[in-house]
Structure 1
C-alpha cells in the first residue's frame, strides 16, 4: 500500500458533487461553470473528450480559484496525466484503471479517482494509491452495490458515476458514497443553448438534497 495516498480535498468533502462537463470546445465551459457554482456545485471535471482542455484550464483555474476546484477527467494514459498535472489540475479522473495514471497523480500528491467496476479493479486501484474509486457505470448496479463492496473493503471510498440521476443522489450518499459524479442529468442542454438559470436551479436542487442527507445523518 502507498505511504502517501492523496486525500480528498476539503472542497469535495464539504460539497460531495462532481459536475462532469463535456462540450465541443473548452471555450464553452466558463458560463456553465459559473451557473454550477451559483447553485452550490464546487467540483468541476473537465473531460478530455472536449477539445481545448489543456489550453483553457489555466485560465479557468485562475477565474474560479476562490469558488471551485477544477479537475481533468477521461484521462486514459500517462502522457495525458502528466499534461493535466502540469496544467494544474486539482484532481484526475479516469474511466478505467490505468496504473500509470494513478502513479503519476500519487507521485505529485494530487487526488485521483480511477474508474473501476469489479471488486478486483477497485482493489487494484486502491492498492496503487487511488484517493477514491469511481464506480463506473454506476447505474448498472445501483446504490446497493456499495454495501456489497464495503463488506470485504469497508474503508474503500467510492464515487458513483455514469447514469446517476439528481433524485438518486441521496440514495448513493446514504449507501456510503464519498461523493457523486453527475453528467447529463445535471448539465442537461447547457452546452446546446439551454437556459443556464435552469442549470443553476438543478445544481441548487442537488445541493439541497445533499444537505438533507447530511441533516438526517446529524439528527440520527
Structure 2
C-alpha cells in the first residue's frame, strides 16, 4: 500500500477499526466480521494474543480486499514482523525507530503524537498520518489547536473515541477516527458477533453522516 492509498482510504471511510483481544480465533472472527460488514480499514494491535498469526490468517482470507494493518508497533523488529505477516500499514503509539523502519519496508505509518514537537518529529520520520494519541486527554479542542500550525497534516484521533466523540473529532477536522473498545467491545476476546454487527452499523452510519 502506498501512503496516498492509505490517506485515500482514511478520507473515504472516516473510520479505522482497532482490534485488540485475548483470543486469537475471536480476534480473527472480529476482523473478518468487520470487513464483511463494510469496515475494511482494520488495525490489529500487536498486544493481541498471537497478533501476527491473526494478521497472517486474515490477510490470507481477505487478500487485497481489505487494508489490514499492525498496531502498537514499537520496535524495528515489530515493524519487520508485521510486514512479514502481511500487514500493509503500521500504527505506532509514539515516534520511535519503528516509524523509519516501517517506511523503509514500504509500509505507510500512522505515528502516534500528542504535542507539536511530537507531530513535527513524526513528519520528519516520514509518517503518512498522525495518530493523535491519547486523544481523550485534550479532546477536539486540542485537535483544533494542532491544526493551526499543521493545517496539512492528516490527523486520526485515537483513544477514548466513542460515537459522540467521533462526531466531534470529525467536525474538528480529523481525517478519520480510530476506534477500539466502543466499536469492538469484547468481541476479540469472546464471541459477540451479533453485538459487534450492531455497533458496526452504528459507527458506519456515523461515518456516512460525516462525509
CA RMSD of superposed structures (Å): 1.8
Aligned counterpart for 1:93 among listed residues 84, 91, 94 = 91
1:11 shift after superposition = 3.1
Between the aligned partners of 1:30 and 1:126, the Cα distance in structure 2 is 32
Partner of 1:49: 47
Partner of 2:123: 126
1:8 shift after superposition = 4.5
Between the aligned partners of 1:188 and 1:195, the Cα distance in structure 2 is 8
Q: How has the CA–CA distance of structure 1 residues 203 and 213 changed in structure 2, closer, same or farther, with 3 Å as cutoff? A: same
Aligned counterpart for 2:107 among listed residues 110, 120, 143 = 110
Q: What's the TM-score once normalised by structure 1's chain length? A: 0.88
Preserved contact between residue 39 and residue 202 of structure 1 (Cα < 8 Å): no
Whether 1:69 aligns to 2:72 is no
Question: For 1:163-174, what aligned pairs fall within 5 Å after superposition?
Answer: 163-174=160-171
Unaligned segments of structure 1, at least 5 residues? 215-220
Partner of 2:78: 80
Q: Which of these two proteins has the greater Rg computed from alpha carbons?
A: 1
Between the aligned partners of 2:165 and 2:184, the Cα distance in structure 1 is 15
Between the aligned partners of 1:188 and 1:54, the Cα distance in structure 2 is 21
